Amino acid sequence: MGREVLLEIPARPEYLSLARQVVAAAAALEPSFRAERIDDLRVAVSEATTNAIESHLDRGSDERIVIRCNLADDRIEVEVFDRGAGFDPTTATTAPLAEAQDRLEHERGLGIPLMRVLADEAEIVSDPDGTAVRLVVYIPRSHQ
């Protein structure tokens, strides 16, 4: 049976750490989750929540960011919802995760590629009324 944790945070940078802590603590409820995968999830959640906070700040919105964390038998699923202006995930400017020298020209655009590498699944659904990011990390079958 799934176990769900729901967190709402003000769209302010100082609440980012709290979001990471709550998700990591929820993941740690499942003893077979390796510490390294929880660390990966913390980074992925930080990326999604950073984008959410910035989208609200850009819009001047004081609405809260919603983070839903669902711990199932075989995985942890984290969804981050914002009410920002949205973006097209297929055309968003992202820095390449590659060993190219021009990689050092990119100070931004690192978050989405990192999120996709760290989570087993990363899905972004966005429209002009907001964005939902869904991150999934699976529990290794041998540990179940």
Q: Which is nearer to another protein, 69 or 119 (CB)?
A: 119
Which residues contact another protein (rule: CB under 8 A)? 13-14, 16-17, 20, 36, 39, 42-43, 46-47, 50, 53-54, 95-99, 101, 103-108, 110-111, 113-114, 117-118
Which stretches within the chain are classed as H helix? Answer: 16-27, 35-59, 111-118
Q: Which is nearer to another protein, 35 or 74 (CB)?
A: 35
CB of 23 to another protein, least distance (A): 13
Give the SS3 label for residue 90.
coil
Contacts of the segment 15-18: beta carbons below 8 A, 24+ positions apart: 15/53, 15/65, 16/46, 16/49, 16/50, 16/53
CA distance 2 to 14: 29
Q: Which is nearer to another protein, 3 or 103 (CB)?
A: 103
CB of 54 to another protein, least distance (A): 7
